[in-house]
């Protein structure tokens, strides 16, 4: 039989999420999840529920969240919602605005999401030099290049390429005093 091409991750893999927060804790400064909506690529509502935060609500933030005390009558506990939502997102490409806030509210931090974001931020810091390095090594005649081009990457990881404030340890001793 002819081997079929692996299916590309199409629209079915894509969902959009939006979370609304209310304020709990001292002065209502802690953001906790109070509503979560997930829609499919074609706009079907896959999930839309009000969620009761773990701590008492101090500030409904109605002006931004649209949430009032009445909505909490039909709200489900956070633990239940978290399980349902994470199960729904599993294996999906998640689209949204300021997703790190939504993931934080879902207590989906300390996962690979934060590490991936940090890695991307680090790459963006040195992107220009990296691209120039790759371009110049691609133009070099074959005999000038070593048998293994991975040495370029190893050299690249040396301190000389990284912005100074990243390579210096934080602390007074590096500043040399006033």
What CATH number does residue 56 fall under? 3.30.420.10
pLDDT of residue 87: 92
Domain range for 53: 14-109
**What span, in angstroms and rounded, lies between the C-alpha atoms of 57 and 45?**
27
Report if residue 79 sits inside a domain: yes
pLDDT of residue 134: 80
- 3-state class of 57 per DSSP? strand
Digit-coded pLDDT (tens) for 110-160: 576 666 776 777 777 777 777 888 888 877 665 555 555 555 555 555 555
Report if residue 175 sits inside a domain: no
Q: What confidence tier does 38 reach under pLDDT thresholds 50, 70, 90?
A: very high
pTM of structure: 0.58
Report if residue 157 sits inside a domain: no
Mean pLDDT of 23-46: 94
Report if residue 19 sits inside a domain: yes
Digit-coded pLDDT (tens) for 41-81: 889 999 999 999 999 999 999 999 999 999 999 999 999 99
Backbone angles phi, psi at 60, to 5 degrees: -75, -15
Domain count, the chain: 1
Report if residue 64 sits inside a domain: yes
**DSSP sequence for 28-49:** G-EEEEEEEEEEETT--EEEEE
């Amino acid at each position: 039989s002819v081997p079929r091409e692996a299916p590309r991750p199409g629209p079915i893999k894509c969902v959009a999420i939006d979370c609304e927060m209310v304020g709990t804790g001292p002065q209502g400064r802690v953001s906790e999840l109070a509503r979560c909506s997930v829609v499919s690529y074609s706009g079907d509502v896959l999930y839309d529920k009000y969620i009761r935060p773990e701590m008492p609500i101090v500030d409904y933030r109605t002006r931004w969240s649209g949430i009032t005390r009445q909505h909490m009558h039909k709200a489900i506990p956070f633990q239940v919602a978290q399980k349902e939502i994470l199960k729904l997102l599993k294996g999906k490409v998640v689209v949204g605005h300021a997703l790190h806030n939504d993931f934080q509210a879902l207590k989906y931090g300390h996962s690979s999401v934060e590490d991936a974001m940090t890695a991307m931020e680090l790459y963006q810091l040195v992107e220009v030099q990296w691209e120039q390095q790759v371009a110049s090594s691609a133009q070099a005649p074959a005999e000038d290049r070593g048998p293994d081009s991975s040495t370029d990457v190893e050299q690249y990881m040396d301190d000389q390429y990284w912005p100074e404030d990243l390579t210096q340890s934080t602390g007074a001793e590096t500043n040399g005093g006033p």
